[in-house]
């Protein structure tokens, strides 16, 4: 049996370019992009998903695989995948930033551990918020939503035909800026509560100057910080649902599609 060279090139293009877009997604997506996940597992997941969605993707209009144009197209597919996966990382980093704000206000920032996703030291409160947000991401089928978005992106941005515009890159940057606003909103209740505690310390210092407020105030602020985090934990799920719904709506607007 003879197989034409054009058929082999077409099959390689249909496999390689979607593989690179999905690789970009998994390189930036929550959970799968963690440094604790082995690279061979990530590659196998990417290959498995690529083979699954190949039948529903239009043939790639690239006659030759080993050309400079194909290399440029590979870079484009990586950028598209990373851009989509980056949106989910923004949602998770919002809660990490909120935890860091709360930790700095309560004095709990001295306790820091290594973040397995980013590979840096973060306050324990931020890591605690990150773990909760990651669990909610999987519980709410966030990984399935991201896979759905990457599949829909092949219709919105066909390989070799369309590319992101400057407005779409600008929209991603603006969405990343909202991370700081959302983090302050999430940590607003603990910040106000601790402000009241600090005002109470100020009144105590004024009423009884002989008290060493620096020795007792620091420990009381930490205890009150833990109590406030425990009290405001009921709103964590609500905040995550709001931020995740906003991220999904943004991905729909970015790709100009709406999932069924």
Output the pTM of the full model.
0.78
Both structure tokens of 30: 């929550």
Dihedral sign for Cα atoms in the order 248, 251, 253, 255: negative
Going residue by residue through the chain, which has 260 residues, state the pLDDT in tens, using 9 for 90 and above.
455 667 777 777 778 888 888 988 888 888 787 777 778 888 888 888 888 888 888 777 776 777 787 788 888 888 888 888 888 888 888 888 888 888 777 766 555 555 555 555 666 777 888 888 888 888 888 888 888 888 888 888 888 777 777 788 888 888 888 888 888 888 888 888 777 877 777 777 777 666 666 666 667 777 777 788 888 788 888 888 888 988 888 888 888 766 54
Gap between the Cα atoms of 173 and 253, Å rounded: 14
As to burial, measured by CB atoms within 10 angstroms (0-12 exposed, 13-18 middle, 19+ buried), residue 67 is: exposed
DSSP-based three-state secondary structure for 26: helix
As to burial, measured by CB atoms within 10 angstroms (0-12 exposed, 13-18 middle, 19+ buried), residue 177 is: exposed
């Amino acid at each position: 049996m003879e197989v034409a060279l054009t058929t082999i090139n077409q099959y390689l293009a249909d496999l390689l370019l979607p593989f690179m877009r999905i690789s970009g997604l998994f390189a930036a997506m929550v959970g799968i992009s963690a440094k604790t996940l082995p690279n061979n597992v990530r590659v196998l997941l990417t290959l498995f998903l690529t083979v699954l969605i190949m039948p529903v993707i239009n043939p790639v209009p690239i006659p030759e695989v080993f050309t400079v144009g194909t290399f440029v197209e590979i870079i484009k597919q990586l950028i598209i995948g990373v851009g989509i996966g980056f949106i989910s990382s923004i949602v998770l980093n919002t809660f990490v930033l909120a935890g860091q704000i709360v930790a700095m206000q309560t004095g709990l920032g001295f306790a820091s551990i290594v973040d397995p996703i980013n590979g840096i030291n973060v306050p324990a409160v931020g890591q605690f918020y990150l773990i909760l947000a990651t669990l909610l991401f999987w519980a709410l089928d966030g990984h399935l939503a991201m896979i759905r978005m990457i599949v829909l992106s092949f219709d919105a941005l066909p390989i070799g035909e369309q590319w992101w515009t400057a407005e779409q890159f600008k929209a991603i940057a603006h969405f990343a800026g909202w991370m700081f606003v959302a983090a302050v909103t999430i940590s607003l209740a603990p910040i106000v509560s601790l402000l009241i505690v600090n005002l109470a310390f100020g009144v105590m210092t004024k009423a009884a100057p002989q008290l060493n407020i620096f020795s007792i105030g620091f420990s009381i602020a930490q205890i009150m910080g833990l109590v406030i985090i425990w009290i405001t934990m009921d709103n964590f799920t609500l905040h995550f649902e709001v931020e995740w719904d906003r991220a999904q709506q943004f991905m729909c607007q970015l790709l100009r599609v709406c999932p069924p």
